[in-house]
């Protein structure tokens, strides 16, 4: 079996080969590496001219905030964006991968990408990995057929909804949406509602925090409002500034231009092929 | 640490015959209770559902009850344990009345009694499987508190149990303010109960609202909330991609 493995291309889907070895190692006392999760609040809603996506900006590693201001709204196509919750690496990788596939498809067809294309590519990838790719996504965009909003679960199921929330803060955000959403919102009303829902997640859920990112997608136009709201500013900054303790002495400051150390031979032999 | 080595008394506490005497899991359960303080007193809301696992078995369970002259209690969790708690509370109020001293137990005292009871049962590994909301008014002072099945207790301007913690608390934190009128209070509670109806699988569309003021207790007749299902995306979710879902 081992001699064949190198030349055969991977069949796709999850390979369970290493599972037994991992279990054996855990039994022997190995601590499995933890992963960076984005305990998160991500939301999307459809308003009269298109789609608005929103996300918080906290990335957690267990009880610690690993990134205070990460970006959870990922680019898929000029008219399609995707928010990701779950394991940060999984959401990044899967959205990057499908974004590239969409670009190749656009070159191939010469047309603007459709949201259902991104949806099908994402869901078939996630399904083939049987939920091990821990990415929960809110996909939204406007294409020739109109505005679309979908949620995609780690096991590969999808929903088409007028408003959606995912992540650990989804219940807090959904409470806001269920009580205040109606059809035919204007852009400003929609942005306000999305910001309110994300703030509800930020302040009521421990896995979400920091700032609010918003992305408004309409026909032919998108506005990526990074850090639209900063409801958690750093309230105290020392006026005196920070100085070194008296005992620290700066001994020497010397700037060595790097080029002097490198010998560049002009007109030398060409590099070996 | 080997359990077999411990004394016989310890053994029977955790032995198999003693298991039938301890609560291990709940059977018939009620879902969330939401409570707020308003201008004249306290408002509690709870639906009337009693679920048996994933079946909706009982649809006329009254989960809001008056306690004495000054308090109302709302319970989520195991219904039989709630009925037991009501028996204890009735006994408590009876003994208090028998003193006939012109004083009666207020909501703070009843809350404390419930806390001690829940915590003591939890310490014996035989909990009353409930999350309780206790509200009342005495001598113009409004009181709203909650006790969980392990004895965690606190008082606040707005409380919720179960799913209400995740779905109703965010709304209440945003929209509650001092001196709500009765109509505003009921509207706020209905907003929370509607979200719970949409998003909690064990909720039923039949709720009661209980009001307590200095004047007394009123528990409303059961009624239902209006829901909205006419979003265009619900009617035609696969527009733009026929055959998908």
* Residue located via tokens 């149990």: B161
Say how far apart CA B215 and CA B228 lie, in whole Å: 37
Count of positions (residues) in chain B: 245
Helix (H/G/I), strand (E/B), else coil: B185: helix
Q: Rounded to whole angstroms, how far apart are CA atoms B56 and B217?
A: 29
List all residues of chain A from 127 to 146 with a beta carbon under 8 Å from chain B: 143, 145-146
pLDDT value at residue B136:
96
Which sign, positive or negative, has the C-alpha torsion B215, B217, B223, B225?
positive
The answer on pLDDT for A156 being more than 60 is: yes
Residue A160 to residue B237, Cβ atoms within 8 A = yes
Size of interface A-B (CB pairs under 8 A): 70
Instruction: List residues bridging with B76 in a β-sheet.
Output: B131
Q: Identify whether the C-beta of residue A118 lies closer than 8 Å to the C-beta of residue A75.
A: no
Name every chain A residue with its beta carbon within 8 A of the beta carbon of B200: none
Model-level ipTM above the cut of 0.85:
no
Considering only CB atoms, which chain B residues are within 8 Å of A200?
170, 174
Cβ–Cβ contact A116 with B under 8 A: yes
> Tens digit of pLDDT for each residue in A175-192?
999 999 998 899 999 999
Residue of A nearest to B230 (CA): A183
Would you call B223 an interface residue with chain A, using a CB distance cutoff of 8 Å?
A: no
**CB-CB neighbours of B40 under 10 Å:** 18
Residue A265's φ and ψ, nearest 5 degrees, are -90, 115
Q: Cα dihedral angle (A78, A122, A196, A181), rounded to 10 degrees? A: 100
Rounded to 5 degrees, φ, ψ at A108 are: -70, -40
Give the number of other Cβ atoms within 10 Å of residue A256's Cβ: 7
Q: How far is B101 from chain A, CA to nearest CA, in Å?
A: 46
Check pLDDT > 70 for residue A262.
no
Strand partners, B72: B66, B135
Instruction: Calculate how close chain B gets to A179, using CA atoms only, in Å.
Output: 6
pLDDT at B128: 95
Tell me, yes or no, if A149 comes closer than 8 A to chain B by beta carbon. Answer: yes
d(CA B213, CA B135): 10
Q: Which of A115, A159, A204 sits opposite B169 (nearest CB)?
A: A204
Hey, which residues 156-185 in chain B have their CB within 8 Å of chain A? 163, 166-171, 173-174
A34 or A23: which leads in pLDDT: A23
Nearest to A170, CA basis, from A254, A44, A22, A2: A44
Q: Side by side, which strands form the sheet with B158-160?
A: B158-160, B33-37, B41-47, B207-213, B217-219
Classify A131 as helix, strand or coil.
coil
Task: State the pLDDT at residue B6.
Answer: 44
Radius of gyration of chain B measured on its C-alpha atoms: 21
Residue B136 to residue A92: CA distance in whole angstroms: 52
The minimum CA-CA distance between B174 and chain A, rounded to whole Å, is 8
Bridging pattern class, strands B64-67 and B71-78 = antiparallel
Burial category of A269 from C-beta neighbours within 10 Å (exposed 0-12, middle 13-18, buried 19 and up)? exposed
Q: Tell me how crowded residue A34 is: count the other CB atoms within 10 A of its CB.
A: 8
- Nearest-angstrom CA–CA distance, A201 and A175: 10
Q: Where are the alpha helices (DSSP H) in chain B?
A: 8-14, 16-19, 79-99, 107-123, 164-175, 182-199, 232-235
Q: Do A178 and B168 touch (CB under 8 A)?
A: no
* Distance from the first to the final alpha carbon of chain B: 55
A188 touches chain B (CB under 8 A): no
Q: Do A120 and B168 touch (CB under 8 A)?
A: no
Specify the residue for token string 């990788």: A93
Touching check for B229 and chain A: CB below 8 Å? no
Is any Cβ of chain A less than 8 angstroms from the Cβ of B187?
Answer: no
**Which pTM does this prediction carry?**
0.80
How high is the mean pLDDT of chain A?
Answer: 87
Catalytic site positions of B: 23
Are the beta carbons of B127 and B119 closer than 8 angstroms?
Answer: no
pLDDT of residue A38: 59
Q: What is the model's pLDDT at position B22?
A: 82
User: In tens digits, what is the pLDDT along chain B, a chain of 245 residues?
Assistant: 444 444 444 444 455 565 667 888 899 999 999 999 999 999 999 999 999 999 999 999 999 999 999 999 999 999 999 999 999 999 999 999 999 999 999 999 999 999 999 999 999 999 999 999 999 999 999 999 999 999 999 999 999 999 999 999 999 999 999 999 999 999 999 999 999 999 999 999 999 999 999 999 999 999 999 999 888 878 877 776 676 66
pLDDT of residue B236: 77
Tell me the C-alpha distance between B48 and A57, whole Å.
40
pLDDT band for position A239 (50/70/90)?
Answer: confident
Residue A124 in contact with partner chain B when CB distance is under 8 A: no
* A122 in B contact zone (CB under 8 Å): no
B77 Cα to chain A: minimum distance (Å): 20
């Amino acid at each position: 079996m081992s001699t064949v493995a190198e030349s055969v291309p991977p069949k796709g889907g999850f390979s369970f080969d290493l599972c037994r070895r991992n279990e054996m190692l855990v039994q022997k006392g190995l601590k499995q590496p933890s992963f960076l999760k984005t305990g998160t609040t991500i939301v999307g809603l459809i308003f009269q001219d298109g789609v608005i996506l929103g996300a918080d900006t906290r990335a957690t590693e267990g009880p610690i905030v690993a990134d205070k201001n990460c970006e959870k709204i990922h680019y898929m196509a000029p008219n399609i964006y995707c928010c990701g919750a779950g394991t940060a690496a999984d959401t990044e990788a899967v959205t990057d991968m499908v974004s590239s596939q969409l670009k190749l498809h656009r070159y191939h067809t010469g047309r603007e990408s459709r949201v259902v294309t991104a949806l099908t590519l994402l869901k078939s990838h996630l399904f083939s990995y049987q939920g091990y790719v821990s990415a929960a996504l809110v996909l939204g965009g406007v294409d020739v057929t109109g505005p679309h909003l979908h949620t995609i679960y780690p096991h590969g199921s999808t929903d088409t909804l007028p408003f959606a929330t995912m992540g650990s803060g989804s219940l807090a955000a959904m409470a806001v949406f269920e009580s205040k959403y109606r059809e035919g919102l204007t852009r400003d009303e929609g942005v306000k509602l999305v910001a309110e829902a994300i703030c509800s997640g930020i302040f009521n859920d421990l896995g979400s925090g920091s700032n609010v990112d918003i992305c408004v997608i309409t026909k032919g136009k998108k506005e990526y409002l990074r850090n639209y709201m900063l409801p958690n500013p750093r309230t105290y900054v020392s006026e005196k500034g920070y100085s070194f303790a008296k005992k620290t002495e700066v001994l020497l400051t010397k700037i060595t231009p790097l080029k002097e150390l490198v010998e560049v031979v002009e007109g030398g032999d060409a590099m070996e092929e | 640490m080997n359990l077999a080595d411990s004394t016989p008394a310890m053994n029977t506490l955790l032995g198999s015959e003693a298991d039938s005497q301890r609560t291990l899991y709940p059977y018939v359960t009620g879902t969330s209770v939401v409570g707020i303080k308003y201008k004249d007193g306290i408002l509690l809301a709870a639906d009337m559902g009693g679920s048996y696992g994933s079946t909706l078995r009982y649809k006329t369970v009254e989960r809001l009850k008056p306690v004495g002259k000054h308090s109302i209690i709302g319970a989520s969790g195991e219904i039989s344990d709630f009925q037991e708690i009501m028996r204890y509370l009735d006994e408590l109020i009876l003994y208090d009345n028998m003193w006939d001293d012109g004083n009666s137990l207020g909501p703070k005292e009843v809350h404390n009694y419930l806390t001690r009871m829940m915590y003591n049962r939890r310490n014996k590994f035989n909990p009353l499987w409930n999350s309780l909301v206790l509200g009342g008014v005495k001598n113009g002072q409004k009181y709203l508190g909650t006790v969980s099945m392990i004895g965690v207790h606190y008082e606040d301007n707005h409380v919720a149990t179960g799913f209400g913690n995740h779905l109703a608390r965010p709304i209440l934190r945003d929209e509650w303010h001092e001196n709500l009128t009765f109509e505003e209070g009921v509207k706020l509670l209905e907003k929370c109960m509607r979200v719970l109806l949409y998003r909690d699988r064990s909720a039923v569309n039949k709720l009661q609202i209980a009001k307590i003021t200095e004047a007394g207790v009123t528990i409303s007749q059961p009624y239902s909330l209006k829901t909205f299902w006419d979003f265009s995306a619900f009617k035609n979710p696969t527009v733009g991609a026929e055959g998908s879902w």
